Amino acid sequence: MPTVEEGIQSQLRNIERTYGRTIDELVVIITKSGLTKHNEVVAMLKQRYGMAYGAAHRVSLVARGRLAAPESKAAHERPPTIDDVFNQLLAMTTSLGEDVERAPKKGYVSLRRRKQFAMLQPGAKVVNLGLILPQRPAGGRLETAGKWNALFTHRVRVATAAEVDDELASWLRAAYDAAG
């Protein structure tokens, strides 16, 4: 009698044969689609690739499992998410000093020293970095906070890991220094 794992492997081979794509190719398609909810992935596979529900369900489960496993090939191909960008920004704050207090609030993290100097607010497509830099003029990525949040003088919208750069670090450092 075959084991459950052997049954799943047989199902995956049948899916590859029936739909003409490898499971690895399907995982990349799912990753590039940006869909993360199981039901949305299943619906997309059924609509775009004509998959039966059972096949789409199994492929979605496999993709989710691979994307959750950091050692997997698919995880290395996965583009950074907003959560990754948020975590990278949060890690950057550890280099500022031991006196940085991270105060999680509903929907954002307040960054304090003797007083608040910044905040991180993850959104759907960007992480908003609010900064208190009263002497610094706005320009380029360093926007005026305006109506976004009256507690801050500036806002930086960070969408990718590449935008967490030396320039952004210098603004964060300046806000930190001014709060001490």
Bridge-based pairing state of the strands 116-122 and 127-131: antiparallel
Residue-level pLDDT at 174: 95
| Residues spanned by the domain of 87 | 82-178
Listed residues 77, 111, 130: the one ending a domain: 77
Task: Count the domains in the chain.
Answer: 2
86 and 73 within one domain: no
CB 27 within 8 A of CB 61: no
Beta carbons of 89 and 127 less than 8 angstroms apart? yes
Three-state secondary structure along 66-118? HHHCCCCHHHHHCCCCHHHHHHHHHHHHHCCCCCCEEEEECCEEEEECCCEEE
Each residue's pLDDT tens digit in the chain (180 positions)?
A: 456 677 778 888 999 999 999 988 898 888 888 888 889 999 999 999 999 998 998 998 888 887 765 444 444 444 557 878 888 898 898 889 889 998 888 788 899 998 999 999 988 889 999 999 998 999 999 999 988 899 999 999 999 888 999 999 999 999 999 998
- Do residue 108 and residue 146 come from a single domain? yes
Burial class (CB in 10 A: 0-12, 13-18, 19+), 129: buried
Count of C-beta atoms within a 10 Å radius of residue 42: 21
Same domain, 143 and 64: no
Give the separation between CA 112 and CA 143, rounded to whole angstroms. 21
Assess whether 59 and 118 both reside in one domain.
no
Check: CB of residue 140 under 8 Å from CB of residue 146: no
CB 42 within 8 A of CB 60: yes
| Alpha carbons 27 and 15: distance in angstroms, whole number | 13
Do 117 and 48 belong to one domain? no
